[in-house]
Amino acid sequence: MSATSRRVLAATATSALLLCLTTACGSSGSETSSSGGTVTLRYAIWDAVQQPALQKSIDVFEQQHPKIKVKIELNAWAQYWSKLQTQMAGRTAPDVFWDHVAYFPQFAQQNVLTDLTPYIKADKLDTSIYDPKLLAGWQQDGKQYGLPKDWDTIAQVYNKTMLEKAGLTQSELGGLSWNTTDGGTFVKALQKLTVDANGKHPNEKGFDSKQVKQYGLALGSSNGQTDWWDAAAQNGCKLQDKAWGKWTIDQPSCVEAIQFVRDLRLKYHVAVPASVTNTPNGASLPQVMARKQAAVVWDGSWDLNAYQSSMKGNFGIAELPGGPVGKGTVYNGLSNALYAGGKHPKEAWELVKWLGSEESQKIIVSEGSVWPGIPTLNKDYVAVWKQRGVDVSGFSKEAEGTTIGYPLTTSSATYSVKVQDAFNQVWLGQQSPKAAADSVNEASNAAIK
Amino acid sequence: MTDNMSVAVSSPLVDRGHRPPAVPPGAPAVERHRRRSRIRATVEAYVLLAPSLAGLALFLVAPIVGVVVISFFDWNLMGAPHFVGLANYREMMGDSEVWRAMRNTTYYVVLNIPAQTVLALLLALAMNRKLRGGKAFRVLFVLPWMAMPVALGIVWSWAFDPQHGVVNQFLALFGVDGPAWLSSTTWAMPVLASVNIWQYTGYTMLFLLAGLQAIPESLYEAADMDGAGPVLRFFRITLPLLRPSMFFVLVTNTIGSFQMFDTVYVMTQGGPGGSTDTMNYHIYQQAFQLFRTGYASALAMLLFAVILLVTAVQVLYFRKRTVYDFS
């Protein structure tokens, strides 16, 4: 072999290796793997607070199914949907993933979800154990695209010590109301809970709004679920005219509610400034509470374990205040969905079935993680928190009252992108509620398919 | 100055590769052998080039062609693409958010490039002296460039936190009440620019330092004899002789600045009020949050055209000027 041909050979080998490295061998890392009869499923979630409880349930599932392994893939809410949809486009989405009403309609349209009906029939699964409202939320055209994982509402989480110091009780806090003229009893209570460096309250002379030591309230949300949507529900505002219809957040009842939430910060000075709580850099609500910056927050039941880990039982739950029209909260739930492009649909169905089972939801409930999709377990959830010294019945009382759900629409992605920036500006006082509502409404309606 | 100095003059864009001496005519047999070996050499060269050519085609040419093609379609990555002709380009022309993104990007480049270049030049001049531990300093200045931009973005977000950040706590020492940097439409972009200046100045400095070290000492000695002071020496010798490095640094940094993405993604996500929504972030948002890949591709073409134009202007500017080369 001459020197030249040896060199040519070496070069060819190198280029072949490089080609392999760059093409075929590049994508194996993210795919579902199966070796020696064991199948590894990928399960995507977005909430780190719920992961420990979920892992306990998965551990039991793996014991019962020795040939199936489950790998949880955690991606924060802000990146979750972008990543999931890109993976779907590349046909490499996780086998099972948390689904949300905001994105469900679009996924059902795009045929990326598996219809569970045949599986349910084959396994004679009893779906009457689920809350009918939750089960129906994951249906479209007679098909079932997920099993209920949980439900949630928004309530007031408060610091027990701070509430006592202000001379308020849980039932008082849960019985407040607000109006658009003077803020009502809700603002009065928050004034008691807000203190500046000299011990003065916002309704007293000499109060320094730049030197506030403790705020009455903290609000924060990237889309409205834990702040102005609830105020909107309390003011009779509807986010859309009908299911699958147009967005209507530019209506006066909605704009008034947005104005009130803005006033809590900028007019009454009883809520933590937006520069602290605005996404993406802002502190999360549990962080604000852990830092003792606020006495009360409006937050969802899914965050309870976050408060428990930092406040160790020194917190309580009260219902949201009533507004001009009455009480109201956002009611929502998640499901576990089965990806239609997965390589192991049978094993993935086993996982979905397990996560929807009473046995698994009991484990989740016993960890105090989230309210279950199976209503008979609600009392167990209350009992777990009672043992920890927290009365969580505020969430379930609200669920029985007036609630609004996530808008059913195909333009959630556009809404999410527009609303965060526009409403951040409103809370900072740099844009009027009307202008922000108009611009978000227009852009979201234009994106309806 | 050029007349009495024997230096080679060339443009930085002209390849100065050393060509082999022309082959003298020889006997036919030798000629045939030569031709065969030349063919063999060509084949060999292409075989050796194959890996990088394949990589180039796969990772550069194909995606670029893909973007051009997709820009004429309406496609959400999932369903079938619809051909829409120039509709994406027409929409782009009337889209005020696109023009805002273009203005934001230009503002960022203007904040970033001059400051970064001047700082890097000053640093390079300082480093060019023979200092004890000079190399350690050099490493120190280049460190930010080696760090992950996303991690840096997170750390800087903490630093610029209005209440708990070190920046405002430092300002408070002097009785200054610092603003909520990243929530301010006035301050957010300068903060992003300063983070990037901090990150890339050391890297730019390396190139300018290499350029400085290539300038022969004899020129400064001659200037000394002629009685030129430090200012005159800087403007008459250092700066003109630094042109090749300057050219490289300005062109590559300007292109990089127009494409800025990671810092925005981590620190502001285009906010507040769209004040840091740069072209590349806007393209990302259209493509991977709204899944309008056709429209995003058209925006990418616009950004490409702008960068091409700016680079062409830079090339023309430097081409008009003499470039001194001692290598």
Do A311 and A349 lie in one domain? The reply is no
A18–B contact, CB cutoff 8 A = yes
Do A52 and A176 lie in one domain? The reply is no
Chain A residues touching B43 at Cβ < 8 A: 8
Q: Which chain A residue has its CA at the smallest distance from B179's CA?
A: A275
B63–A contact, CB cutoff 8 A = no
Whether the pLDDT of residue B266 is over 50: the answer is yes
The CA distance from A221 to the nearest CA of chain B, in Å, is 15
How many Cβ atoms are within 10 Å of A402's Cβ, its own excluded?
Answer: 15
Nearest by CB: A4 against B40, B77, B78: B40
> Does residue A13 belong to any structural domain of this protein?
no
Do A141 and A170 lie in one domain? The reply is no
Which of the residue ranges A168-172, B214-218, B246-250 would you say has the lowest mean pLDDT? B214-218
Do A88 and A172 lie in one domain? The reply is no
Residue B282 near residue B104, CB atoms below 8 Å: no
Nearest by CB: B180 against A7, A275, A425: A275
A112–B contact, CB cutoff 8 A = yes
Do A52 and A165 lie in one domain? The reply is no
The CA distance from A285 to the nearest CA of chain B, in Å, is 16
Nearest by CB: B77 against A81, A89, A278: A89
Task: Name B325's bridge partners.
Answer: B8
Residue B293 near residue B180, CB atoms below 8 Å: no
Looking at this predicted complex, what is its ipTM?
Answer: 0.84
d(CA A428, CA B107): 23
- pLDDT band of residue B177 (cuts 50, 70, 90) is confident
Classify residue A232 as left (phi > 0), alpha (psi -120 to 50) or beta: alpha
d(CA A254, CA A261): 11
Q: What average pLDDT does this structure show over B205-222?
A: 91
Nearest by CB: B162 against A11, A276, A413: A276
Instruction: Tell me what the pLDDT averaged over chain B comes to.
Output: 87
B290–A contact, CB cutoff 8 A = yes
Can you read off the two tokens belonging to residue B102? 């273009």
In this predicted structure, what is the pLDDT of residue B24?
54
First to last CA, chain A: 66
**Residue-range domain boundaries for chain B:** 23-56, 95-325
> Does residue A206 belong to any structural domain of this protein?
yes
Chain B residues touching A12 at Cβ < 8 A: 47, 50
Nearest by CB: B272 against A88, A89, A428: A428
Q: What average pLDDT does this structure show over B86-104?
A: 95
* φ/ψ (deg, to 5) at A220: -165, 135
**CB pairs A-B closer than 8 Å:** 95
Low-confidence ranges of chain A (pLDDT < 50): 1-4, 8-9, 11-31
B 227-266 residues with CB below 8 A of A?
none
A420–B contact, CB cutoff 8 A = yes
Residues with Cβ within 8 Å of A276's Cβ and at least 6 positions away in sequence, in order, are: A218, A282, A283, A288, A293, B162, B163
Can you read off the two tokens belonging to residue A70? 């489950």
> Does residue A5 belong to any structural domain of this protein?
no
How many Cα atoms occupy the beta-carbon half-sphere of B226 within 13 Å?
13
Q: Where are the beta strands (DSSP E) in A86-163?
A: 96-99, 139-140, 143-144, 147-148, 150-151, 154-159
Chain B residues touching A215 at Cβ < 8 A: none
In this predicted structure, what is the pLDDT of residue A106?
85
CB contact under 8 A, A420 and B163: no
Residue A288 near residue A217, CB atoms below 8 Å: no
* φ/ψ (deg, to 5) at B302: -60, -45
Find the length of chain A: 449
Share of chain B above pLDDT 70, in %: 90
Do A178 and A141 lie in one domain? The reply is no
> Does residue A383 belong to any structural domain of this protein?
no
Q: Which chain B residue has its CA at the smallest distance from A86's CA?
A: B288
Structural domain count of chain A = 2
> Does residue A1 belong to any structural domain of this protein?
no
Nearest by CB: A22 against B55, B79, B270: B55
Q: What average pLDDT does this structure show over B30-49?
A: 87
In this predicted structure, what is the pLDDT of residue A33?
54
In this predicted structure, what is the pLDDT of residue B33?
81
Do A278 and A326 lie in one domain? The reply is yes
d(CA B97, CA B288): 17
Chain B residues touching A414 at Cβ < 8 A: 290
Angle at A247 between CA A242 and CA A249, to 5 degrees: 115
CB contact under 8 A, B183 and A88: no
d(CA A357, CA A373): 9
pLDDT tens for residues A301-333? 999 999 999 999 899 999 999 999 999 999 999
Written as one letter, the residue type at B283 is I
The CA distance from B54 to the nearest CA of chain A, in Å, is 8
CB contact under 8 A, B55 and A420: no
CATH number at residue A419: 3.40.190.10
Q: Which chain A residue has its CA at the smallest distance from B284's CA?
A: A82
Residue owning tokens 């834990």: A226
B269–A contact, CB cutoff 8 A = yes
> Does residue A9 belong to any structural domain of this protein?
no
Helix (H) or strand (E) holding B266: helix B262-267
B100–A contact, CB cutoff 8 A = no
Dihedral of the CA atoms B205, B208, B210, B211 (nearest 10)? Answer: -170
Whether the pLDDT of residue B326 is over 70: the answer is no
Do A252 and A239 lie in one domain? The reply is yes
The CA distance from A8 to the nearest CA of chain B, in Å, is 6
Chain A residues touching B285 at Cβ < 8 A: 417
B322–A contact, CB cutoff 8 A = no
CB contact under 8 A, B55 and A447: no
Do A214 and A304 lie in one domain? The reply is yes
Nearest by CB: A430 against B77, B267, B273: B273
Residues with Cβ within 8 Å of A213's Cβ and at least 6 positions away in sequence, in order, are: A195, A196, A197
Q: What average pLDDT does this structure show over B170-179?
A: 90
How many Cα atoms occupy the beta-carbon half-sphere of B150 within 13 Å?
1
Do A94 and A198 lie in one domain? The reply is no
Chain B residues touching A11 at Cβ < 8 A: 44, 47-48, 50-51
Nearest by CB: A22 against B44, B47, B58: B58
d(CA A260, CA A254): 10
In this predicted structure, what is the pLDDT of residue B133?
78
- CA A10 to chain CA centroid, Å, is 55
Could you please state the CATH topology (level 3) that the domain comprising B95-325 is classified under: MetI-like fold (1.10.3720)
> Does residue A417 belong to any structural domain of this protein?
yes
Chain B residues touching A276 at Cβ < 8 A: 162-163
Residues with Cβ within 8 Å of B29's Cβ and at least 6 positions away in sequence, in order, are: none
In this predicted structure, what is the pLDDT of residue B189?
96
The residue segments making up the domain with residue A57 are: 32-151+333-373
Most B-contacting residue of A275, A276, A277 (CB-CB within 10 A), to test interface = A275
In this predicted structure, what is the pLDDT of residue B3?
39
Using DSSP bridges, classify how beta strands A335-338 and A96-99 pair: parallel, antiparallel or unpaired: antiparallel
Helix (H) or strand (E) holding A263: helix A252-266
Q: What average pLDDT does this structure show over B80-99?
A: 94
Can you read off the two tokens belonging to residue A443? 């852009």
Do A227 and A159 lie in one domain? The reply is yes
Q: What average pLDDT does this structure show over B239-253?
A: 93
Residue owning tokens 């301010």: B184
- pLDDT band of residue B35 (cuts 50, 70, 90) is confident
B 76-95 residues with CB below 8 A of A?
77-79
The CA distance from B28 to the nearest CA of chain A, in Å, is 24
In this predicted structure, what is the pLDDT of residue B137?
83
d(CA A139, CA A108): 9
In this predicted structure, what is the pLDDT of residue B32?
78
Q: What is the CA radius of gyration of chain A?
A: 25
Q: Which chain B residue has its CA at the smallest distance from A436's CA?
A: B273
pLDDT tens for residues A354-385? 999 999 999 999 999 999 999 999 999 999 99
> Does residue A338 belong to any structural domain of this protein?
yes
**Higher pLDDT among residues B142 and A268, named by residue:** A268
Q: What average pLDDT does this structure show over B252-258?
A: 96
Query: Which of A345, A373, A401 is at the close of a domain?
Result: A373
How many Cβ atoms are within 10 Å of B75's Cβ, its own excluded?
Answer: 21
Chain A residues touching B161 at Cβ < 8 A: 281
* φ/ψ (deg, to 5) at A354: -60, -50
Task: Name A35's bridge partners.
Answer: A38
Do A298 and A366 lie in one domain? The reply is no
